[in-house]
Structure 1
Amino acid sequence: MRVNGRLRVLIFLITLIGGLRFFGGLAWAVPVDPQYLLVNKTPTGCPPGSTQYCWFPQDPNTLDPRAIDEIRERIPTNGTTNRKLGVSFSVWLLDLSQDIQIQDIDRLLNIAETKDMPIYLKLDGFLWWDNRPDLWNWWDPSLPGYNPNNRNNVEWTSWDSNEAIKISWRNWGSQLRVKPQPNLGSRTYIEAKKAALNSVIPRIVSWYNNLSSDRKYLLAGVEIDNELSIGTNFYYYPDGNSYLNQDPALDPNIPADWNQLDGGFVQLGYAALTSYGYPPTGEPTKDTLNHVMSLHINEMVNHVAAMGLPRNKLFTHGIGKPYYYTHSLTQVATPGWSFYDYAYNPEEALDFPTAIAELDNTPWGAVEWWNMNPAIPWLTAFNNTLNYDNNKIVNIFSYESITFPSDLSDAIINVLNTPPACWLSPAAANPVVINNTTATLSWETPPNSEAVYLNVSDSPERLPSGSLRYLNVVNENVTGSTAYPRTFSPGTYYWQVVVDGCNEVGGQRRITPGSFTIPYPPGDIDQDGDVDSLDVVGWISLLTSGDLRGDIDGDGRVTVFDFSVLVGNFGG
């Protein structure tokens, strides 16, 4: 058949378009997980003239999507592929009803999707718990929630629970009274937070999983608790309980000195130490308080991670002084901290580089950030933070504090329009294919990857970087490969694809975790990998007791038919 010139051009264009679509599909097989510059919408009231759209978590109807239009009008850029503008907002886990929390979450996720604006959700079960007197009211039978045992849910000023506090203070530019500092070791308090998370995290995970790979960036992150600490946001004056029923205007108002562990106030932390099993001797120390804060943070994010939220979308939120930055490190979440005094250059924060070194080139977040150093230009402060050792997020606190136009707003636009010198997204892990005892692990690698490693372990334990602690089954350089078949003994395994790249900017590492199970042969009662005479003996005892572990054929009963399956696999 003769093909004329026009037809050749048409065939070429069709082929080109099809090829672009094909390669476009490959490009999106690895979702871009960008760096974010966020503006936080304040949840506690807007300064006059700062915005037409104040958002309040207590009223989901105030979460007006036109706020995003206003932000885009003032910051007329979405950023670049690897550095994006996003919005942050708080939902209070213990100060809002479950229904309001769900409405808030659903509205915020809908705004993100319809407005194409990444959202960072601050799920705070720490700073605000006014509406849970059932947790903190241990002293007043005339008020709702009274239970004398609630003294175990708040902090104490000594090892004696009779020294439980009724009130605390906070200073965010001016002093305000708040409810007593929660006891971070209280099981009742912890379970209340988990119950709230159980209602919202599955909605977030489902929404995220249903996003197409080219829109996964719309979830900038989910943060668990806000500046979790002891004393810094709940300080306590000497004989503080005596002020409870007086005019707050008469309260003492003393500046904090966080070069001291107690800030110059009364030391708290005894209740948390008691709950976590510390002996009632001496006083709380920086080391012991850092430890119990870490225990609490780890338990909360482990609970969330178990519901399917990946590490690159899950964040902690700790502080620096008077504690160590390491309390915010966990096995399953990206660590985050507040930066004010050192927002101009986090590297200069005392012992912060020590915490960052434990991350082994994996990301961290400046999840609350505002440059307090007038001698350092905003653009310099942004670059010092965004370019320091794998920063993932800078969250400006807050949008309503930004003047438009200003040097700050100009710096925001400049930074957003300037992509990172190099950026690495995590590899995309494919579902594990299992055929008898052979598992095929496969993955897609991202742009800028220079080396790829595959690790498999029989232990779920991980390091603060998110890497498997024990690389005792597979530890191989698989650069250039995208699949790895291998025979495994029956059992559960934990695997990860580790991607290294961007060495020209100091190196970046991204870790994609997973797990799989090689089933035991039917009839392998003792789970030693073989069906043998010991399994026959074990099955007979299960038959006698009716224990459903002897239900080999899965019909809900233990019968001779199960024994026939066992015999059929004997020796296998």
Structure 2
Amino acid sequence: MKKIMFSFAIFGALCSVLCAQDSNSQDDIKYLAFMRTPEDVFNQHHPETINVAGFNEITRHFADLPNSKVKPGIGFIFSYLKTDIDTVQVDLKRFLSLSLKTNTPVLVKLDGEQWWQNRPDLWNWWDPELPGYDPNNRNNVEWRWWEPEYAIKIAWRNWGRQLRVLPPPNLMSPAYRNACHEAMDQLMPIVLDWYKALPDDKKYLFIGLNLGWESSIGMNAYYYPNGNDLIDVPEIDDVHKPYIHDDVLSRGYVQIGYASVKTAGIRTSGDINESDIVKVSQMHVEDLCKRAYDFGFPREKIFSHGVGNPKGEKLYDVALNKYSCPGWSTYDRPDMPESNIGINRCLDISDANQWAATEWLLLAPHEKALWKTAFEKTLSYRNCKYLCVFNWELIRKSPEVIEAAREVIKENAIK
């Protein structure tokens, strides 16, 4: 009898272990993540701001829920050309250690495209009074025609409001590509070593590595006529011209992209076309994803980030490559993913086994039923692995949205 009881005890313990492992099987898990706005609470210039309080502000809303196949998570963007790389390394280590400490899945987004203030040695071609000045840096920024003399000094971005930004990089400049590679090579070991060291029943804490950021030319950094002349004019006097989605080349502004297209060897004269912009943007994203894949990240943990808009234009294809799973910004009716022309066209031809709504927001009133439906529809559509709400700070004071997320997680509880 003792042997039988002992056998049952072993069997029961084994079942408990297997059930625990199965409940966190990475293949079955989906994530409902929230991106923290850079420099709101978490500030990559100051690693001490990446702390447990910033995690708990989000996780406390879900702490009482049962173990679920839909897990809440936190994302953060590490812009590796915006801050010195030593500081970014500290930021990343703190972020990952807090994931394990608080048992919170995390999405690591690496950006070298939208913000690159810390590298004037790449972009400052015009001001000898500023650090990094070198006239040859014209080759590292975008142009408004085919020669370096048309290099731009300034650009504009509209993420809710218009702001001035640095000239966008020539995505194919060897110096720029090397800068991205060198920074990634210092950050990727931190993530991969952390992931490999996680116990099997904690591997689910790594949602993935997100590369690119709505990668494109002229969408998130556009240029006005005579823009270089405006650099010394007060920003308050800047022109404000609406963005034109239907103009797939210049978006209603001055056409740029000549530096990237020429450096890539795609074209050296004439007019740029839509395919040129798509091809060079895709080369950029594929290079980043290949870098991570060759470094040792499994494909199912690498997610690209392509543009999303109502027209389903060719630019969606930028997210497709053989090294990553595709991801897109999803603002256009995320409650009806079946109507998204671009995502569905790309998923029809993608050989990846999953995708992500890697920048997601429902542009609708904060009503629980609306948001719950949108969360459910996105996560259940064509093997979506995760959605990441951009940003937590937009919904943190909305009990209706938070309760919608809670209900989705609760209703997917593991029995």
TM-score (ref. length: structure 2): 0.92
Give the aligned partner of residue 334 of structure 1: 325
Secondary structure, in 3 states, of the residue corresponding to 1:216?
helix
Alpha-carbon distance in structure 1 between the residues aligned to 2:274 and 2:398: 43
Give the aligned partner of residue 406 of structure 1: 399
Give the aligned partner of residue 113 of structure 2: 126
Residue 69 of structure 1 and its aligned partner are, at CA, apart by: 2.2
| Bigger Rg, structure 1 or 2 | 1
Secondary structure, in 3 states, of the residue corresponding to 2:288?
helix
Query: Any conservation in 2 of the 1:112–1:119 contact (CA below 8 Å)?
Result: yes
Alpha-carbon distance in structure 2 between the residues aligned to 1:347 and 1:269: 32
Secondary structure, in 3 states, of the residue corresponding to 2:411?
coil
Give the aligned partner of residue 387 of structure 1: 380
Alpha-carbon distance in structure 1 between the residues aligned to 2:360 and 2:72: 15
Q: How do 1:96-135 and structure 2 match up within 5 A?
A: 96-135=83-122
Q: 2:145 aligns with which of 126, 136, 158?
A: 158
Relative to structure 1, is the Cα distance of residues 283 and 99 closer, same or farther in structure 2, using a 3 angstrom cutoff? same
Q: 2:356 aligns with which of 365, 384, 405?
A: 365
How many residues were matched structurally?
A: 406
Q: 1:18 aligns with which of 10, 17, 30?
A: 10
Residue 23 of structure 1 and its aligned partner are, at CA, apart by: 4.5
Q: How do 1:1-150 and structure 2 match up within 5 A?
A: 8=1, 10-23=2-15, 28=21, 31-33=25-27, 34-45=29-40, 54-77=41-64, 80-150=67-137
One-letter amino acid matched to 2:30 = Q
Give the aligned partner of residue 269 of structure 1: 257
Higher relative contact order, chain-length normalized (CA < 8 Å, sep 6+): 2
One-letter amino acid matched to 1:326 = D
Secondary structure, in 3 states, of the residue corresponding to 2:42?
coil
Q: How do 1:474-489 and structure 2 match up within 5 A?
A: none
Residue 384 of structure 1 and its aligned partner are, at CA, apart by: 1.8
One-letter amino acid matched to 2:87 = I
Secondary structure, in 3 states, of the residue corresponding to 1:170?
strand
Matched, 1:396 2:389: yes
Secondary structure, in 3 states, of the residue corresponding to 1:324?
helix
Alpha-carbon distance in structure 2 between the residues aligned to 1:284 and 1:294: 16
Secondary structure, in 3 states, of the residue corresponding to 2:357?
strand
Relative to structure 1, is the Cα distance of residues 278 and 361 closer, same or farther in structure 2, using a 3 angstrom cutoff? closer
Relative to structure 1, is the Cα distance of residues 293 and 420 closer, same or farther in structure 2, using a 3 angstrom cutoff? farther
Give the aligned partner of residue 560 of structure 1: none
Matched, 1:207 2:198: no
One-letter amino acid matched to 2:164 = R
Q: 2:302 aligns with which of 308, 314, 330?
A: 314
The structure with the largest strand share of the pair is 1
Matched, 1:353 2:348: no
One-letter amino acid matched to 1:390 = N
Secondary structure, in 3 states, of the residue corresponding to 2:76?
strand
Q: How do 1:297-308 and structure 2 match up within 5 A?
A: 297-308=285-296
One-letter amino acid matched to 1:407 = E
Residue 70 of structure 1 and its aligned partner are, at CA, apart by: 2.3
Secondary structure, in 3 states, of the residue corresponding to 1:377?
helix
Query: Any conservation in 2 of the 1:344–1:373 contact (CA below 8 Å)?
Result: no
Relative to structure 1, is the Cα distance of residues 219 and 266 closer, same or farther in structure 2, using a 3 angstrom cutoff? same
CA shift digits 1:383-440 (9 cap, x unpaired): 221111110111011111114453211211111112299xxxxxxxxxxxxxxxxxxx
Alpha-carbon distance in structure 2 between the residues aligned to 1:269 and 1:77: 50
Relative to structure 1, is the Cα distance of residues 328 and 77 closer, same or farther in structure 2, using a 3 angstrom cutoff? farther
Residue 80 of structure 1 and its aligned partner are, at CA, apart by: 3.8
Alpha-carbon distance in structure 1 between the residues aligned to 2:348 and 2:260: 28
Residue 55 of structure 1 and its aligned partner are, at CA, apart by: 1.1
The structure with the largest helix share of the pair is 2
Residue 275 of structure 1 and its aligned partner are, at CA, apart by: 0.8
Query: Any conservation in 1 of the 2:83–2:117 contact (CA below 8 Å)?
Result: no
Query: Any conservation in 2 of the 1:318–1:325 contact (CA below 8 Å)?
Result: yes
Residue 286 of structure 1 and its aligned partner are, at CA, apart by: 1.6
Secondary structure, in 3 states, of the residue corresponding to 2:207?
strand
TM-score (ref. length: structure 1): 0.68
Alpha-carbon distance in structure 2 between the residues aligned to 1:293 and 1:313: 21
CA shift digits 1:256-280 (9 cap, x unpaired): 1121121111111111110110232
Alpha-carbon distance in structure 2 between the residues aligned to 1:69 and 1:403: 12
One-letter amino acid matched to 2:339 = E
CA shift digits 1:28-51 (9 cap, x unpaired): 499424210001111132xxxxxx
Alpha-carbon distance in structure 2 between the residues aligned to 1:95 and 1:361: 31
Residue 337 of structure 1 and its aligned partner are, at CA, apart by: 0.8
Alpha-carbon distance in structure 2 between the residues aligned to 1:214 and 1:222: 19
Query: Any conservation in 2 of the 1:238–1:265 contact (CA below 8 Å)?
Result: yes
Give the aligned partner of residue 229 of structure 2: 242
One-letter amino acid matched to 1:413 = R
Secondary structure, in 3 states, of the residue corresponding to 1:74?
coil
Alpha-carbon distance in structure 1 between the residues aligned to 2:352 and 2:380: 12
CA shift digits 1:432-473 (9 cap, x unpaired): xxxxxxxxxxxxxxxxxxxxxxxxxxxxxxxxxxxxxxxxxx
Give the aligned partner of residue 282 of structure 1: 270
Q: Percent identity?
A: 35
One-letter amino acid matched to 1:168 = A
Query: Any conservation in 2 of the 1:31–1:213 contact (CA below 8 Å)?
Result: no
Residue 319 of structure 1 and its aligned partner are, at CA, apart by: 0.5
Query: Any conservation in 2 of the 1:77–1:413 contact (CA below 8 Å)?
Result: no
Q: 2:216 aligns with which of 225, 229, 232?
A: 229
Query: Any conservation in 1 of the 2:326–2:352 contact (CA below 8 Å)?
Result: no
The CA RMSD over aligned residues, in Å, is 2.1
Alpha-carbon distance in structure 2 between the residues aligned to 1:79 and 1:37: 15
Gapped regions of structure 1 (runs ≥ 5) = 1-7, 46-53, 422-572
One-letter amino acid matched to 2:379 = L
Alpha-carbon distance in structure 1 between the residues aligned to 2:256 and 2:64: 46
Alpha-carbon distance in structure 1 between the residues aligned to 2:135 and 2:234: 25
Gapped regions of structure 2 (runs ≥ 5) = none
Query: Any conservation in 1 of the 2:306–2:315 contact (CA below 8 Å)?
Result: no
Query: Any conservation in 1 of the 2:211–2:305 contact (CA below 8 Å)?
Result: yes
